[in-house]
Structure 1
Amino acid sequence: MSLNFYTLDTDVVIDGYVVTASTQYQFALDKFVPLIGRLEIQRDALNTKFYSRLEDDIVRGCVMPPITIALIHSFPARKQTKNSIEEYISQNISNAFVLDGIQRLNTLRRAALKDGFDATRAIHVNFIIASSRDRLLYRMITLNNGQKPMSARHQIDVLADAFFNFDGVDLKLVAEKGKGRVRAPESFKKADFVKGYVAYLSGSVNIDNQKIIEEKMDELIASKIIDSDIPTSKVEFMDIVELVNKFSKSGKLNDWIRVQNNFIGFCVGAKTSAPKLKSVEVEMIEGAISRFEQAFSSINVSKVNLGKVRRELVAYFFQNYQSLNKLDEFELLDKISDRI
């Protein structure tokens, strides 16, 4: 019992591959159903009339629509053979994610308990292999934008917990409620972290405007992500995480970066300047942030939306870090006041 592979296509945009295959129900029960538990945040299994009917139809012999399984792996630059891709998929199923078909797999699991279930019937599956987490999320959002079941923010929220294990960094992520899994000194609220990731992906600090209907806000964010330069960007979100980890070594920057508005602004700004920020000494960044905060303290808080302005100016500061970090308090105040 194994996977039968049919087609292999290269997805140049996400620097990866799309593979079509089939297998038997028993393989799906053994290999795919356990993948659902890999995601901490998961939509509850639905037991609606539709899925109850599908459960019966599976026993009667229907063919389910293909499910979609994703893996993240960056292959060497040389062109891969069909056999090497198929071998990678077969050996790494346990590291995959179910992108589409969670409810169908839950339904299959229930159907398998019924009399008459045939575990040898075929189930079809599409595999998507992307070279990075960012590119995979980009592909998901371009495919799913406009559909009702899952907004762009929900997709990111669901997958962020599974994607970011922070191997090799000191950052840890804690859910605000429920049994948060602590993975890796000071912690981020998961909600703040996801907001920073959404801001990074969309290239915008305007990700939770209460003046915009939530549904339209989701569509706006998805549109910005689609229009962003994720597939061509040389910066990955883990580059931002590594910088946050670097800041966390500093007593002065540790608390500063964990303020939600600072973090969101930084995620947007560092998307442009991350490669250069990596080579800057922490003491230099401490001094630059100190001058920024001195300049920011001169803004008339009664005249602005302080949270919104902080996000925008932090993003602007780090987007233009090379030139702005050299300015004194009043030169910097002159620059940032023009952005308000």
Structure 2
Amino acid sequence: MKVASCLHDNRINAHNVLIEISIGDYEAMVKPVLDKNEFQRKRVRSSKTVYSLLRSDLTKQCVIPPVVLALTSSVGDFDINDTDGFEAFLGVNQEHLVILDGLQRTHTILDLVQELRASSDEQTLRSVLGTKIRAEIYVGINRIGILYRMLTLNTGQTPMSLRQQIEILYLDYLDENISGVELIREVDGRAVTRPEQYIFKDMVEGFNSYLDRDELPIDKSDILENISSLEKLSKENQEADIFKGYVEAFSSLVCRFDELLGGLVLSEDYIEKNSSPFGESVQKIFKKPQAMSGFGAAMGKLIDAGVVGGFDSVKAEISQIEINDGSAFLEEINNSLDWLKNNTKKIGNAQRTFFTYFFRDLLNRESDAFRCPVDAAKSGLRKYQAQNM
């Protein structure tokens, strides 16, 4: 291993060390920590990608772009002037190593080495293991810095989905112990099958709508901008408390509707007339991001207007919601959402705005639809039409 240069990154307050390292040493360094970075995208297995070509190129000592790694801020003291001791420093702190960019290249390298060992092609194996590659290693980087660098580096063949980027930004909130709620991430690969389960990204979108008082979805261009806010929020426990309050309030809403309607679903007669309703049941209606974002934006606006005092008072109002005819409610809210589907260009945004009006009327004591979901479904659509048509 040879240290080529060492620069300080002022944006994330970490040192960037550029090294040259043989593939053999790189394999030994990263193999034990491949699964350490919970933010990382999944590997690409398609043989038709550029990574399949890379296997062939590596046997010809092709120079590949540097991989980027990080040693987290929990490592010991790093002496920027002691470049000769960097290899030993890296070995002592190997357990803190994560891959920021180059996971697919790394898997390709390891697969090739494994394949050559199995083939007994000693000459090619020695050549590949001795081939030099470059690696950038960020030393002393904190979690926010890791996220920032991953997002700015994420421009390759397999970019992270917007869903995963949002999950990364708010990952700390997964540590919150929220009674009766299970938040599921995209990387978990599990479906929402039980009443207490929610998609983490969708819940986060709703919370972001609460913070912004805006029900429209997070745009890709907003992700990096949100990091500066996250840097501040990460120092304040109160934001986690607000997230917990939002989740508990929304969960209490879904539980109340589920309590009132139980397993009730749209009738077969209704389905025959409308074969693709927004949601056949309470769970399918309110566990969609449109409803969560509408709830978040509505709560923010009601609190700003002084109509409700906070999430605790909202939960008290939710507990008093009544539905005399569950079938009528399911049909009415689907009718409103169906109208939006047939009469608006940006259907998803229109649905989010409808839910904002729906929840504002449902939980506003001054509204004629207060605590009456059927009336709120009607008034929510009327207000959307009045403001947008």
TM-score range, shorter chain: 0.5 to 0.7
Match in the other structure for 2:377: none
Match in the other structure for 1:14: 12
Match in the other structure for 1:286: 312
User: Identity of paired residues, percent?
Assistant: 19
Q: Counterparts of 2:204 and 2:142 in 1: how far apart (Å)?
A: 17
Q: Counterparts of 1:60 and 1:50 in 2: how far apart (Å)?
A: 16
Q: Which runs of 5+ in 1 are unaligned?
A: 209-220, 272-282, 295-299, 318-327
Secondary structure class of the residue paired with 1:127:
strand
Q: Counterparts of 1:158 and 1:168 in 2: how far apart (Å)?
A: 14
Displacement of 1:13 in angstroms is: 2.6
CA contact (8 A) 1:25 1:122 kept: yes
Deviations, residues 186-226 of structure 1 (Å, cap 9, x unaligned): 54324525646887999964337xxxxxxxxxxxx232234
CA contact (8 A) 1:174 1:180 kept: yes
Aligned residue identity for 2:135: V
CA contact (8 A) 1:134 1:230 kept: no
Does residue 1:329 correspond to 2:365, yes or no? yes
CA contact (8 A) 1:195 1:264 kept: yes
Deviations, residues 302-327 of structure 1 (Å, cap 9, x unaligned): 5984533546999xx9xxxxxxxxxx
Deviations, residues 159-202 of structure 1 (Å, cap 9, x unaligned): 579x65945745743357976499xx954324525646887999
CA contact (8 A) 2:66 2:135 kept: yes
Match in the other structure for 1:100: 101
Q: Which runs of 5+ in 2 are unaligned?
A: 255-285, 301-308, 321-331, 341-349, 370-382
CA contact (8 A) 1:23 1:124 kept: yes
Q: Counterparts of 1:140 and 1:197 in 2: how far apart (Å)?
A: 23
CA contact (8 A) 2:173 2:243 kept: no
CA contact (8 A) 2:250 2:292 kept: no
Match in the other structure for 1:69: 69
Distance 1:94-1:308 versus aligned 2 partners, 3 A rule = farther
Match in the other structure for 1:308: 353
Displacement of 1:68 in angstroms is: 1.2
Match in the other structure for 2:327: none
Distance 1:33-1:172 versus aligned 2 partners, 3 A rule = farther
Does residue 1:188 correspond to 2:223, yes or no? no
Q: Counterparts of 2:140 and 2:229 in 1: how far apart (Å)?
A: 10
Secondary structure class of the residue paired with 1:108:
helix
Distance 1:234-1:49 versus aligned 2 partners, 3 A rule = closer
Distance 1:89-1:196 versus aligned 2 partners, 3 A rule = farther
Match in the other structure for 1:42: 42
Cα root mean square deviation, aligned: 5.5
Secondary structure class of the residue paired with 1:56:
helix
Displacement of 1:30 in angstroms is: 2.8
Displacement of 1:12 in angstroms is: 2.8
Distance 1:291-1:75 versus aligned 2 partners, 3 A rule = farther
Distance 1:226-1:125 versus aligned 2 partners, 3 A rule = same
Displacement of 1:95 in angstroms is: 4.1
Displacement of 1:64 in angstroms is: 2.3
Displacement of 1:238 in angstroms is: 9.2
Which of 249, 252, 255 in structure 1 is aligned with 2:252?
A: 255
Q: Counterparts of 1:44 and 1:286 in 2: how far apart (Å)?
A: 45
Match in the other structure for 2:25: 27
Displacement of 1:288 in angstroms is: 4.5
Match in the other structure for 2:135: 125
Q: Counterparts of 1:153 and 1:80 in 2: how far apart (Å)?
A: 35
Aligned residue identity for 1:153: L
Q: Counterparts of 1:14 and 1:36 in 2: how far apart (Å)?
A: 23
Deviations, residues 121-146 of structure 1 (Å, cap 9, x unaligned): 3221112357554443334334446x
Aligned residue identity for 1:308: T
Match in the other structure for 1:224: 222
Secondary structure class of the residue paired with 2:130:
coil
Aligned residue identity for 2:312: E
Match in the other structure for 1:217: none
Deviations, residues 96-130 of structure 1 (Å, cap 9, x unaligned): 43232122112211221322123233221112357
Q: Counterparts of 1:152 and 1:61 in 2: how far apart (Å)?
A: 33
Match in the other structure for 1:150: 159
Secondary structure class of the residue paired with 2:69:
strand
Aligned residue identity for 2:353: K
Secondary structure class of the residue paired with 2:44:
coil
CA contact (8 A) 1:66 1:125 kept: yes
Tell me the TM-score normalized by structure 2.
Answer: 0.53
CA contact (8 A) 1:201 1:225 kept: no
Q: Counterparts of 2:11 and 2:188 in 1: how far apart (Å)?
A: 37
Tell me the TM-score normalized by structure 1.
Answer: 0.58
Q: Counterparts of 1:73 and 1:136 in 2: how far apart (Å)?
A: 10
Displacement of 1:55 in angstroms is: 1.7
Deviates more, 1:48-57 or 1:185-194: 185-194
Q: Counterparts of 2:131 and 2:51 in 1: how far apart (Å)?
A: 19
